Chains A and B, each alone.
Chain A
């Protein structure tokens, strides 16, 4: 059963067709990768899923209910979390506060209880702090817990970004190029974290990544986009032998 079903999705910006009649489904508990050359529409796809773009046609279903027209914040409370391609952390908040913010939809304190603090707000803060500390522990970022995110290195910021999404305890985790700009060692670490998230928390993951080695190793299923069209879907093995995909990446043989 698919946790996320995308049907006939079309997204246009004026005359440009960013996504053209794309349909696929992501099965519960799998790692699903979206790949494709630059400008293929991968990030546009994620923007449609997390609600930043409204598709012109088609529908998106999450856990069997339509979310096509929901606002982004409502999708977060349904359990969709996202880490951005360009780091979108809150630079003046500490790592801890960034992660606590990830738990926003799971918490309830309002203005009055928050201002009084003692009692309800404090109890809730402590309860959710424990969850956040588990994520901190999991991603091994204990040492930077109280550092403002803006001062951290790129690699660490990427990890905190994943951590913030993870704090939401999502059912569906969208990762937009979590390894972009990293060296081999950092990539290996990140790949390990993704596997661990998948195995220990049974989170369904949608991954966009350019490193084919990583994609082929991690994914259960892969969808390939090219100029907004879905040109391939299948297991890593099937994709590697898909003629259309090879053409999209390497160019057609007769033109070379």
Chain B
């Protein structure tokens, strides 16, 4: 029998199918299955508060994967994520609350509508690159938010709309736990879809456009089509995240989709790792939990130094900015790279000369 403590040396694939796997080594595959199982079973033993936090992390992760497809993989900065989340949330809200459609139809529709809107705002991307494109997407943010807050008849104006939780037959996803499972399923599907996308033709074309657009075009990639396509695919997932978030908070209102949200999502993919699917998830967890942890820290300290708490609460924003700056300086490739470094270190441990 094989010694379970000894690692295999080398990968021996005998056909292309094996070589194309996302996780090429059986041991790693089992680790992934185990991790999915752990996250699937976790809500059974944790409190509603923790499950709620996890749900928010997961929804942010779905949106972040969407943004990473556009910014990390295709190299097009977008500051319009907040508004695109809004399009998803409002579409689902209008379809379910006003038109009486079921959530299961409204959520994919929210994705599709957001994809169309995203594609429209992606049209300038052929002519604009880098900062210029960022400003163009900022226009998307402002225009969409303006429409949402002024078109009272449809969107309810600044008061927003009230949503209900989704239902299957008689079962409604009212408990934290059930909504977690809904989010978890969609997150797993999103992750698998994106990982697959980037090991096939379209994903490669996205990366090629990011790395060298001129060479990509000479090799037969229609730049315009793929740049807009990146906006479409990315916005689809952001729209889905928006719908999920809307049905989770059960209300959508303009201030939920401000530019701060856009910046937060950019921070997620920066901290997590540009061009990394798992990085998006790490980043989403990190940025979502950071304020929570900071608040807990402040509360803890204010017990000891009551007069300091007022100052410390103000420092929360500072700490948030500081984290992003530190990541940009010390590990621009984010948490995904840090995790890889740790794994690489232990590959040769304890003889890592």
Contact = CB atoms under 8 A, between A and B. Distances in A.
Contact of B193 (A90, A104, A115): A115
Contacts of A121: 196, 200-201
A90 B212 contact: yes
Contacts of B233: 111
A92 B275 CA distance: 10
Contacts of B212: 88-90
B8 interface: no
B277 interface: no
Given A90-B211, A91-B211, A52 B218 contact: yes
Contacts of B214: 52, 88
Contact of A111 (B17, B207, B221, B229): B229
B131 interface: no
A125 B221 CA distance: 17
B219 interface: yes
Contact of A101 (B193, B196, B205, B229): B205
Contact of B201 (A50, A91, A104, A116): A104
Contact of A72 (B194, B208, B211, B217): B217
Nearest to B22: A117
Given A90-B208, A111-B229, A104 B221 contact: yes
Contacts of B204: 93, 97, 100-101, 104
A250 interface: no
B86 to A, nearest CB: 24
Q: Is the interface of A mostly helix, strand, loop or mixed?
A: helix
A65 to B, nearest CB: 17
Interface in B173-225: 193-194, 196-197, 199-205, 207-208, 211-212, 214-223
A90 B198 CA distance: 14
B202 A109 contact: yes
A130 B20 CA distance: 13
A67 to B, nearest CB: 13
A110 interface: yes
A84 interface: yes
A55 interface: no
Interface in A122-169: 122, 124-126, 129-130, 164-165, 168
Contacts of B218: 50-52, 72-73, 76, 82, 84, 88
A182 interface: no
A93 B208 CA distance: 8
Contacts of B196: 114-117, 121
A76 B220 contact: yes
A243 interface: no
A101 B208 contact: yes
B215 A107 contact: no
B275 A107 contact: no
Nearest to A77: B220
Contacts of A201: none
Contacts of B219: 73, 76, 81, 101-102, 104-105, 164-165, 168
B220 A73 contact: yes
Contacts of A77: 220
B14 to A, nearest CB: 13
Contact of B200 (A71, A72, A88, A117): A117
Interface in A187-213: none
Nearest to A104: B220
Contacts of A76: 218-220
Nearest to A78: B220
Contacts of B216: 90, 101
Contacts of A108: 201
Contact of B215 (A88, A115, A117, A126): A88
B330 interface: no
A110 B275 contact: no
Given A100-B204, A121-B201, A90 B222 contact: no
A168 B208 CA distance: 15
Contacts of B208: 90, 93, 101, 104
Nearest to B230: A111
Residue from B17, B220, B222 with most neighbouring chain A CB atoms (10 Å): B220
B5 interface: no
B127 to A, nearest CB: 15
Contacts of A107: 201
Contacts of B221: 73, 101, 104
A114 B197 contact: yes
Nearest to A103: B201
A130 B229 CA distance: 28
15 contacts: A52-B218, A71-B217, A73-B217, A73-B220, A73-B222, A73-B223, A84-B218, A90-B211, A90-B215, A101-B219, A110-B201, A115-B196, A117-B199, A117-B200, A126-B16
CB-CB nearest 7 A-B residue pairs: A76-B220, A105-B220, A114-B200, A88-B215, A117-B196, A90-B211, A115-B193
